[in-house]
Amino acid sequence: MDRTLAIAFAVVVGACSSWPATGTSLSAQIVMEDGSPYYVPVTATVASGNPIRWDNPTPTHHTVTHNGCVEDGHPCLFDSGPVPPGAQFTIPGLPAGRYPYHCRIHPIMRGVLTVTDAAPAPSQL
């Protein structure tokens, strides 16, 4: 029964995932998976000031934890806490930088979020 539910989630996520596979997007959507690479895409790029969202379609809890949260002397910029199955975690935006993160529950799950400087506004005439 859990398996059927997981497949249903996969179909829904697949139908909605029309984001480009590479390049900088105005917002980022990352999907958690039970198998490698666990966060898809495992390296995501977004321009600063744009929201980043993680979806959890798996049947298990996961977290999205900036590595700084577990390293002494480093700032902790985001930590979702346990994200239940079917839920999502969104942050409104980050300053430009490179943000490695992981799952507190499954430390093998690791991803990197890269935030670039915001592009100049195109409509300044």
- Of the pair 26, 105, the CB lying nearest Cu ion is at 105
Least separation in angstroms between residue 30's CB and Cu ion is: 13
- Of the pair 50, 78, the CB lying nearest Cu ion is at 78
What angle is formed at CA 34 by the lines to CA 28 and CA 66, rounded to 5 degrees? Answer: 50
Residue from 41, 44, 24 nearest 33 by CA: 41
3-class state of residue 91 by DSSP: strand
- Of the pair 62, 66, the CB lying nearest Cu ion is at 62
- Of the pair 32, 52, the CB lying nearest Cu ion is at 32
Least separation in angstroms between residue 80's CB and Cu ion is: 10
Least separation in angstroms between residue 93's CB and Cu ion is: 24
Count CB neighbours of 8 within 10 A: 11
Least separation in angstroms between residue 1's CB and Cu ion is: 22
> Residues interacting with Cu ion, by CB under 5 A?
62, 103, 105-106, 109
Q: For 69, which DSSP code?
A: G
For 87, counting Cβ atoms within 10 Å of its Cβ (0-12 exposed, 13-18 middle, 19+ buried), the class is middle
